[in-house]
Amino acid sequence: MLELFLFVLSQAPAQKPLYPDMPAGSPPPVPVPDAIAADAASMKPYTEVIVGTKARFEMQPIAAGKFTMGSAPEEKKRKPSEGPAHDVELAAFWIGRCEVTWDEYTPFQMKLDKAARLQGGESAQAQDAWADAVSRPTPPYVPMDFGMGKERCPAISMTQFAARQYTQWLSMKTGRFYRLPSEAEWEYACRAGTKSAFSFGDDTAALGDHAWYFENSGETYHPVALKKPNPWGLFDMHGNVCEWVLDQYDEASYASFKTLAQAPIAWPTKLYPCSVRGGSWDDDADRLRSSARRGSLAAWQQQDPQLPKSIWYLTDAKFVGFRVVRPLVEPPEVEKLRAWSADTDAIREIQARQRTGAR
């Protein structure tokens, strides 16, 4: 079904564009030192700039490679959904050193970049026309940090759709293609070459040095990068907040892998469940293991008073955030669209609801 959608999308120039106000082509890339690499060997860390805002964030290069995804049967607290372990091969990519923070997410969520331009606080940028055409959240009806704080803290409580829309907006703001990581990319980056339960070993006694979780969090998330990074320089891969990935969650999906898998992604075909990884400030230690998997639930919107439920906010998921990746080799335009949102009908419905002022 999804392959048919992509074929039809690529062969249907007469169809109304998904984003009618967006200019043709792609926005020019914002000049950033070390953001361009001719090949994997020349990839370097770089600091991305979100033009029209004060937000900056660091991207870390991850070399191409193979790894064993999932957990061994003897790993303590292992769940059946983590097996069978199987080999995966991935191309090179960059990944955020930290989870996306409110500093980065709020300009998208609250349209602060537009407001700053209108008020004369920021000058217009070449990327604005593309970014302004991307659908954005409606105003939240409660503070979405739920009193836990925003300065340097991870953004939370967004739906997977909202996280994917953010990556499209970010791509338009920077002129570089960003998306959520696949589940395989996320685990590869989390493990950082290790095969133990955590990237620092198997002993949960050391977990407090590397992660915020139920035992030490004080029932709240914390600013990013306060704990030790993993061997590849990534912070909070264990704990703080769970992180959205692109994949549909299926407890039995690993059983389908018989040979080496090439960059697998289980593209979502329904709203629930989708995968989150890494565990959170509200989880016990076993949920923070590198191989631990979890699927989203409709109950994460249980307290949302709206009917239909918001497409942007999760009232009952104060433990969910995300980080971004950028592949070294940019995919075709239709593949970018699939990473941002794969369902044209859903996109059109969302746009229609936004035009009428509905959430």
Indicate which CATH number applies to the domain containing 135: 3.90.1580.10
Identify which of 286, 359, 235, 308 has the alpha carbon closest to the alpha carbon of residue 79: 286
The tens digit of pLDDT for each residue in 128-183 reads: 999 999 999 999 988 999 999 999 999 999 999 999 999 999 999 999 999 999 99
Q: Which run of H or of E encompasses 90? A: strand 86-90
Instruction: Confirm whether pTM is higher than 0.85.
Output: yes
Which residues of the chain carry a pLDDT beneath 70? 1-18, 342-359
pLDDT of amino acid 3: 40
DSSP code at position 258 = -
Between CA 204 and CA 334 the distance in angstroms is 43
Q: What is the DSSP letter of 354?
A: H
Q: What is the DSSP letter of 83?
A: -
What letters, b where the CB count within 10 A reaches 16 and e where it falls short, cover 82-117? bbebbebebebbbbbbbbbbbbbbbbbbeebbbebb
Residue with tokens 């409110």: 102
Closest CA to 275 of 264, 260, 284: 264
Measure CA of the first residue to CA of the last residue in the chain; give whole Å. Answer: 28
Residue 2 confidence (pLDDT) = 37
pLDDT for 294 equals 97
Token pair listed for 56: 């900056």
- pLDDT tens across 40-54, in order? 999 999 999 999 999
* Tokens 């090949």, located at residue: 39
How many structural domains comprise the chain? Answer: 1
Q: Which residues pair with 320 in a beta bridge?
A: 242
Residue 353 is predicted with a pLDDT of 55
Q: Can you read off the two tokens belonging to residue 157?
A: 């409580």
pLDDT of residue 308: 85
Which H or E run includes 7? helix 2-10
pLDDT of residue 14: 39
| Distance (Å, whole) CA 304 – CA 54 | 31
Distance CA 122, CA 53 (A): 8
Q: Which domain holds residue 104?
A: 2-355
Given a contact cutoff of 8 angstroms between Cβ atoms, the answer to whether 53 and 112 are in contact is yes
Amino acid at 191: R
